[in-house]
Amino acid sequence: MNFQLDQYQVGEGAPLLLIAGPCSIEGADLCRQVAAEVKSICADLGINYIFKGSFDKANRTSLHGKRGLGLAEGLKVLSLIKEEFEVPVLTDVHEISQCQEAADLCAMIQVPAFLCRQTDLLVAAGAAAAARGGAVNVKKGQFMAPDGMRHVVEKVQSGGCEKVLLTERGASFGYNNLVVDYRGLAIMREFAPVCFDATHSVQLPGGSGDKSGGDRRFVAPLTRAAMAVGVDALFLETHPDPDNAWSDGPNMVPLHEMRALLEKCIQIRNA
């Protein structure tokens, strides 16, 4: 099961796809730094690369959490990265009204985990992506069983988009904690290509009082395990200075550690 995304094939038999960038689009300079480094690594390792950045973090724990640049300014930065580095770009949408504008620029638009059952949003995302020949990535909700994601795929497809990627990002395990059930990767791969989001799988939702925590120590082992089980794509948020990032700093991969992590991933995948 695979599909064409921009200049890439995604799915069975295709090279690994990497969706990577900072959690929040903090500005053009940060995004340039991340895109340049990750593109170089991917070129060396034969990995297909999509730059990821969020224009709005609409589900922050606290009302006072920094949300981002907003739709207009965020898409300007993503357009710059797309043109300057000649890579496809991805961003997430939270409302139906954002779908078409995001899909006009992005090769793939993303539906966040908390919204993965929102029928109207999924159908609208599918329709917007289909109109531009793009794809939709849906994060599996922390509350969802893997088999339930087949209905999510059907909703996106009902909008006209057959290019659907499903992303595992951990399941709720008591309060403020997540756990990864690797059986879910194989289950979801029965009805769509599958991506593993290692950085959000180590998140501790709401675990730091007025914000989410995380533990990036476990990104590498969880990623290696996913590669051994078998996935079509990886989702990794990265930042040159995660501890001072606008959002999700505790679970992001420091930019200087990305090459070693991806080298190990390719070794496992090739084995």
Residue 19 belongs to a domain with what CATH number? 3.20.20.70
Nearest 5°: the CA angle 254, 6, 47 is 40
Q: Which of 120, 98, 118 is nearest to 109 (CA)?
A: 98
The domain in which residue 174 lies consists of: 2-270
Mean pLDDT of the chain: 93
User: Residue 256 has which token pair?
Assistant: 């200087």
pLDDT tens, residue by residue, 69-83: 899 999 999 999 999
Q: What would the mean pLDDT of 227-254 be, rounded to a whole number?
A: 95
Average pLDDT (225-240) is 98
CB atoms within 10 A of CB 19: 24
Question: Do 243 and 211 contact (CB within 8 A), yes or no?
Answer: no
What pLDDT is attached to residue 212? 59
Nearest to 47 by CA among 245, 256, 235: 235
Q: How many domains does the chain have?
A: 1
In this prediction, residues 152-178 reach a mean pLDDT of: 95
pLDDT at 249: 87
